[in-house]
Amino acid sequence: MLREFIEKIDKKGIIKCIERPLSIKYEIAIVMKKFDGIPLLFKKVTESPQFRIISGIAGSRNLIREALNIKQENLYEKIIHAAENPKKPKEVSDAPFLKNTKDTLKELPILTHYENDGGPYITAALVYARDTDTDTQNVSFHRMMVIDDRHLAIRIVPRHLFTIFKKNKEKGKDTPVTIVIGVHPAVLISAAYPLEFGMDETWMANSLLDGKLEVISSPINNIEVPSHSEIIIEGFIDCNKEVDEGPFVDITGSYDKVRKQPIIEVEKVYFRENPIYHAILPAGEEHKILMGMPREVKIWSFVKQVVPEVKEVSLTSGGCGWLHAVISIRKHTEGDPKNAIIAAFAAHPSLKHCVVVDDDIDVHNPSDVEWAIATRFQASEDLIIINNVRGSSLDPSADQETLITTKVGIDATIPLSKRKEDFIKAKPPAEIERKILKILNKS
Ligand code: MN
């Protein structure tokens, strides 16, 4: 499925292939940074000649649409539908990754990204684990730092995997995990989506893929993983050991602090013939889309409940895909934009600044949004400041002990009491514009 997707976008000329051999130490990450937002296929990796590296496959909203075969429908509606209607995937008994087995991580092209990183990091890994109480599986993204070729430090924020790990730890047990690298973007989106505990993200992925996802029980841990996976790593999270994890760059592009985190002991590594290793550049577009887009979905659905017509939501790239939202609405009454702001803050507690614009503004175009603020916003009436609320741990300007921050909402919509014509962007006559642009395109 990942390979078919790569082939599909390659045919459309969306992928950029890098033929020249590059090193996993900084060199590949530098190229990823240079072409951030574009899918890249590195065909030659100096240290791992049998591997290719893919990056950026989920690095834009258009790529996500392409991956989910979305033409006209609303992307958010499709994702919400899949989250609410998960489907059990078909189980198969063979998978291409069973072809090659190794005992260590040695051959994997694990990248070192930035100058002061704590080591090489696996960044596009999905961790599959089973909760024995509910007999359900959980899938989540975790960054992992290489300690040696059989050990990884894993960053576990207090969510679902943490719950499973903690329950096992209390019983003195290790947590078996199967790590998956190289899957279709639908699997990535589902793993990043905030489902409730006990819901299997794989089922959501299957629903997003219209029932076409196949899974296989992993050889050691008996955990169901996509059969098309390029690479899987089997092992367990040790219930006793901890190590300094980091430094590592998070979504803001600045260094996250070093913490004591658990250790994974690797038992076996499996990979396909001509394996493709997926790497996500920390703080790059793909990181922001995968982490931020599920929150856009949530903001969209919350705002929809208080405002009749919501068009689009963007957690902007400049806002780290996490701290700044722009929401376009069709305003019906004067209070709508402020209600939208309040709903957005409720939907995404990490949100710090929120701008609401009319539906003639492109939320994905920062210059257009700034133009709306410049021409439609009056701070004395259109500004909301909320002091002393809890914000994001990722924002270095928030109080790092209490996470107390100040949130700001900006209503940059046209006041209903004023003449709309005074606020609309001037355009040339549509027919003549089309004609001239057509001529220009030909020459
Ligand atoms: Mn979960």
CATH of the domain at 36: 2.30.110.10
Residue ending a domain, choose from 228, 252, 273: 273
**pLDDT grade for 303, boundaries at 50, 70 and 90:** very high
**pLDDT grade for 193, boundaries at 50, 70 and 90:** very high
Q: Are residues 257 and 321 in the same domain?
A: no
CA of residue 196 to ligand 1 center, whole Å = 6
Q: Are residues 258 and 290 in the same domain?
A: no
Q: Can you tell me which residue has the tokens 């090489």?
A: 120
Query: Cβ(212)–Cβ(67) under 8 Å?
Result: no
Q: Look up the CATH number of the domain holding residue 374.
A: 3.40.1670.10
Within-domain flag for 49? yes
Within-domain flag for 426? no
Q: Are residues 253 and 295 in the same domain?
A: no
Residue ending a domain, choose from 239, 273, 307: 273
Q: Are residues 78 and 215 in the same domain?
A: yes
Q: Are residues 327 and 268 in the same domain?
A: no
Q: Are residues 59 and 99 in the same domain?
A: yes
Tens of pLDDT, residues 316-360: 999 999 999 999 999 999 999 999 999 999 999 999 999 999 999
**pLDDT at residue 73, rounded to an integer:** 78
CA of residue 260 to ligand 1 center, whole Å = 23
Within-domain flag for 428? no
pLDDT for 118 beyond 90: yes
Our measurement of the distance from residue 133's CA atom to the centroid of its chain's CA atoms, rounded to an integer in Å, reads 29
Query: Cβ(353)–Cβ(405) under 8 Å?
Result: no
Question: Coil, strand, or helix at residue 205?
Answer: helix
Positions annotated as catalytic residues are: 250
**pLDDT at residue 243, rounded to an integer:** 98
CA of residue 68 to ligand 1 center, whole Å = 21
Sign of CA dihedral 235, 239, 243, 249: positive
CA of residue 101 to ligand 1 center, whole Å = 28
Strands annotated E in 168-230? 175-181, 214-217, 224-226
Q: Mean pLDDT for the chain?
A: 96
Within-domain flag for 327? yes
What dihedral do alpha carbons 374, 379, 380, 382 form, nearest 10°?
90
- Counted domains in the chain: 2
Q: Are residues 9 and 59 in the same domain?
A: yes
Tens of pLDDT, residues 231-277: 999 999 999 999 999 999 999 999 998 999 999 999 999 999 999 99
Q: Are residues 236 and 297 in the same domain?
A: no
Q: Which domain holds residue 58?
A: 2-273
**pLDDT at residue 129, rounded to an integer:** 98
Q: Are residues 326 and 220 in the same domain?
A: no
Within-domain flag for 431? no
Tens of pLDDT, residues 25-52: 999 999 999 999 999 999 999 999 999 9
Q: Are residues 69 and 104 in the same domain?
A: yes
Comparing CA positions, the residue from 178, 202, 180 lying closest to residue 122 is 180
Within-domain flag for 433? no
Single-letter code of the amino acid located at 340: A
**pLDDT at residue 1, rounded to an integer:** 93
Q: Are residues 341 and 382 in the same domain?
A: yes
Q: Are residues 203 and 259 in the same domain?
A: yes
pLDDT for 72 beyond 80: no
Within-domain flag for 438? no
Percent of the chain clearing pLDDT 90 (strictly above): 96
CA of residue 140 to ligand 1 center, whole Å = 6
> Which residues have C-beta within 8 Å of that of residue 305, sequence separation ≥ 6?
343
**pLDDT at residue 422, rounded to an integer:** 94
**pLDDT at residue 340, rounded to an integer:** 98
> Which residues have C-beta within 8 Å of that of residue 13, sequence separation ≥ 6?
none
CA of residue 163 to ligand 1 center, whole Å = 10
Query: Cβ(48)–Cβ(108) under 8 Å?
Result: yes
Residue ending a domain, choose from 243, 273, 303: 273
